[in-house]
Amino acid sequence: MLILMKLDATRRQIDDVKTRVSELGFTPHEIPGAQRMAIGITGNKAKVTPDHFLTLPGVTDVISVSKPFKLVGRDFKPDDTVVDVGGVTFGGTEIQIIAGPCSVESREQIMEAADVVRASGARLLRGGAFKPRSSPYAFQGLKLEGLEYLKEAAERTGLKVVTEVKDTETLDAVAEYSDLLQIGARNMYNFSLLERVGDSGKPVLLKRGFSSTVEELLMAAEYIVSRGNYNVILCERGIRTFETATRNTLDLNAVPVLKKLSHLPVIVDPSHGTGAWDLVPPMSMAALAAGADGLMLEVHAHPERALSDGYQSLAPDTYRSLMLRVKKLEPVLGRTIMVN
């Protein structure tokens, strides 16, 4: 349920409404908008009706929201959310590029990748240190050592860091070394981890699960936002379908669908979405044309030597030429693409 306050509602009236919501056993969420203040109500302890609030001073309307997601939905908050990752913004007029290897493999490897990525324009460096691999025998990442190398490479090049949080045990360490916490596809349904990253207050990059619907992705985001952390960026990274020609099927429908249903920024990962480096450039262009707020690309200075996802990683030349092509979309999209 959403309580709309009058345009001239006072601070005192807003606080009184919030107190009433709490007294009834629900949680009030202030949702400031360009036009007016609204107060969202969540909680499942009892039944709430519009009559509880309509008579309170400063209230103009009470709307019931039937969608299962509330705080992440446009019904609750019509204005786009802009997520600020250490001065790099997602969801505003800028389009951001996140790039880097699948995994941090060594100090030299991530340093070289950071140089490549920075030279052609990315603002964020990616690289997994705690890798949730499908096989227990596959490279599991350099863990804490990897976080240190990643941070060092990012600081040297002036990039911000995004890396995956695999579990609640390692969350504090990952949060200390990164600017943006990545929740991977395998963890999209890990609700206790979602709550913990919500509590951390740090920006979160939430990847869509392989077999999750758009609504399930939004419900996962709701777990984070319901802890008071609105700094969530959604990521379409391909889903499993009957199609076997590509590693996953990149669901570009999800971009405008998510934008319609939610105010959160949406980016696309065409590397995992296709699984093949030569399909990444066309699908990157398509993702931006579809309205994505950014791209997450796997880039490796020597893809043939990569310890994970080498085949879908862009080599430096391909990455560079893609960035030049992407930049040409600016006048068509009417947005600034943050590549150099």
Sheet containing 27-32: order of strands = 27-32, 37-42, 2-5, 59-63
CB neighbours of residue 63 within 10 Å: 12
Between 3 and 180, CB nearer to ligand PEP: 180
Is 290 buried (19+), middle (13-18) or exposed (0-12) by CB count in 10 A?
Answer: middle
The alpha carbons of the chain give a radius of gyration, in whole angstroms, of 21
Pairwise CA distance, residues 53 & 9, whole Å: 14
- 263 makes contact with ligand PEP (CB under 6 A): no
Least Å from the CB of residue 15 to ligand PEP: 41
Pairwise CA distance, residues 126 & 268, whole Å: 14
- Among 102, 161, 258, 268, contact with ligand PEP (rule: CB under 6 A): 102
Pairwise CA distance, residues 14 & 33, whole Å: 14
Least Å from the CB of residue 269 to Mn ion: 9
Between 52 and 237, CB nearer to ligand PEP: 237
207 binds, among Mn ion, ligand PEP, none (CB under 5 to 8 A by kind): ligand PEP
Between 28 and 128, CB nearer to ligand PEP: 128
98 binds, among ligand PEP, Mn ion, none (CB under 5 to 8 A by kind): none
Measured from each CB, the residue nearest to Mn ion is: 102
Count residues near ligand PEP (CB under 6 A): 8
What residues does 32 pair with on adjacent strands? 37
Chain centroid offset of residue 316 CA: 25
- 300 makes contact with ligand PEP (CB under 6 A): no
- Among 73, 146, 184, 281, contact with ligand PEP (rule: CB under 6 A): 184
Subset of 204-243 contacting ligand PEP (CB under 6 A): 207, 237
Between 275 and 316, CB nearer to Mn ion: 275
Contact 223, 191 (CB under 8 A): yes
Is 77 buried (19+), middle (13-18) or exposed (0-12) by CB count in 10 A?
Answer: buried
Question: Which chain residues interact with ligand PEP by CB under 6 A?
Answer: 102, 128, 184-186, 207, 237, 272
Question: Which chain residues interact with Mn ion by CB under 5 A?
Answer: 102, 309
